[in-house]
Chains A and B, each alone.
Chain A
Amino acid sequence: MEFFLVSLLKIAVVFAGLMTTLAYLQWVERKVIAHVQVRIGPSRVGPHGLMQPLADVVKLVTKEGLLPSYVNRPFYLLAPVLAITMALTSISVIPFGSEVSVGGYHTWMQLTDLNVGILFVLAISSMGVYGVALAGWSSNNKYSLLGGLRSSAQMVSYELPLSLAITAPLLLAGTLSLREIVQSQAGFNFGFLPRWSVFNGPFPQIFSFLIFVIAGFAETNRVPFDLPEAENELVAGFHTEYSSLQFAAFFMSEYANMITITAITTILFLGGWTPLFPASLGSNFVPPVLLFIVGAVALYAGLTPRRKRDGFTFPVVALIFWILAALFLLPFLQQFLIPFFWFAAKVGTLLFIFMWVRATLPRFRYDQLMGFAWKFLFPAALINLLITGLLVALTAK
């Protein structure tokens, strides 16, 4: 009984957190891209456009859902449901932090831990192709069909280097459970260098990290691999015919897939919730100090306002950040917040790289996309796996 109650509570917390993150990720992305391109970005709805996600949700919900007369109705309606379900399911095996105890009850900051966790994520993400492929095909529209075809070909091709890149760090960890993969990367070499698989011997997984991230861009249909929705040739690709909540489902599934891919990268290569340097060197004080500095910068911006309302909004932001910094110093909350901070910091950095790349790089041509996967990424991942396997076998006890 206790287990069910705790699980329900955890599901509610994770769901609420994930939905908020999905909504605000889009705001962050628009802001980041705007600033890279020397624009301001959303700024009308609420201070600094902070209410923009809410406005977008209201717009999408109240919009009329169009059902074109020429579509294949059952599959047209099934496709967005498949896409969003598959995108949201993977989050259930992702560990956000270490074990916590509340009033003598021990639980993990993870919904469930499967002993085939990483395979489960791979299986679910490979089922996600159906959403996109069916959406393209059932729309009965040549642009949508081309988008769906491109996407399924691309996702099947890039799944190979992706899986091979996953295999190499698994050899170092010796387990398929995501929780144990993170635990195998805990600890420090020479007292300060974390044992994350990107750094750790016998063969640092820096190459498979890069291959995984590149293939991750392709799996989530992001720039520079966003051929399935190339707007200058395919209108909007596979989701051309969709509107209202069905469009929102595709949109959300893209962002949810981004979160999953970055979370898996963090767990496999960057040590999950483990800190960058040991607690004995003061890593527990990094989050409060960082948040304090952010608050101080915001306060400074508020004291020298460039616009009239900055004099009010920035001190409020500073106050929020200082309260957060104070929360990190409470001993009861530290067990939740500090592992989660390190996990979120790594995921956030990777998400920022996704946005940075989108703001910077042009799109591949289709033959370049396929050639890159089969002639470069796949052999590179294979060679990396062979070297890792050889070194693991030679250094085994």
Chain B
Amino acid sequence: MDIFFFLLFATVAVGCGISVVMQTHPISSALSLVGVMGSLAVLYLLLGAEFIAMAQIIVYAGAIMVLFIFVIMLLNAGAEQRAGRSLMVKVLGAPVLIGFGGILIYFFAVNFGDATPVHFGAFQGGSARAIGRALFENYLLPFEVTSVLILIAIIGAVVLAQKEME
């Protein structure tokens, strides 16, 4: 049952990922990206990380992608025109892609060849309590530094967005 859901949502994730690149309309691409986020959340859920799964949907699918779509709607961006492919892309595209895939497979086979396979349901530390303990005990400093980083980004955005002082 778990392996069925894994294969289903892994396929959906990859399919949506390809669709993000292939679509000509920005809204279609953005919605495909929502599909990727959603199926990733299901994969997290299968691995036993229920808090991360929900955070993935709330933050990425629910907030960030809504802002993307909001901006696309606001700019009223239309469908893109497909430009013709250059000669180099036509000749080299497919061989380079296959070669890159081969290198990736070789890399994984050499480095992670003896890794133990994942057992669905074996991992139990994905609850909100476990994440909270990890964040506020072991990783307190990185967590706080990240929040300062985000604060800097917010202040930067406000400075950039404010009207020119006379």
List the interface of chain A (C-beta within 8 A of B).
Answer: 75, 114-116, 119-120, 122-123, 126-127, 129-130, 133-134, 136-137, 145, 148-149, 152-153, 155-156, 159, 176
Contact = CB atoms under 8 A, between A and B. Distances in A.
B54 A126 contact: no
Given A127-B61, A159-B63, A153 B70 contact: yes
A116 B41 CA distance: 13
A130 B62 CA distance: 9
B51 interface: yes
- Dominant secondary structure of chain A at its interface with chain B: helix
Contact of B50 (A114, A148, A149): A114
Nearest to A174: B129
B67 A156 contact: yes
A137 B27 contact: yes
Contact of A149 (B51, B55, B61, B73): B73
Nearest to B74: A149
Contacts of A115: 50, 127-128
Sorted nearest first, the 7 A-B pairs with minimum C-beta distance are: A126-B62, A119-B54, A123-B57, A123-B58, A116-B50, A152-B70, A137-B73
Contacts of B128: 115-116, 119, 176
21 contacts: A115-B128, A116-B53, A116-B54, A120-B54, A122-B62, A123-B62, A126-B62, A126-B63, A129-B62, A129-B66, A130-B69, A134-B69, A137-B27, A145-B76, A148-B73, A152-B69, A152-B70, A152-B73, A153-B70, A155-B66, A176-B128
B34 interface: yes
Interface residues of B, number: 22
A154 to B, nearest CB: 11
A156 B68 CA distance: 12
Contacts of A129: 62, 66
Chain B contact residues, majority secondary structure? helix
A75 B31 CA distance: 10
Contacts of A148: 73
A115 to B, nearest CB: 6
Given A116-B128, A130-B34, A145-B73, A156 B66 contact: yes
B58 A126 contact: yes
A137 B72 CA distance: 10
Contacts of B53: 116
B54 A152 contact: no
A155 B70 CA distance: 11
A11 B34 CA distance: 28
Contacts of B63: 126, 156, 159
Contacts of A149: 70, 73-74
A149 B66 CA distance: 10
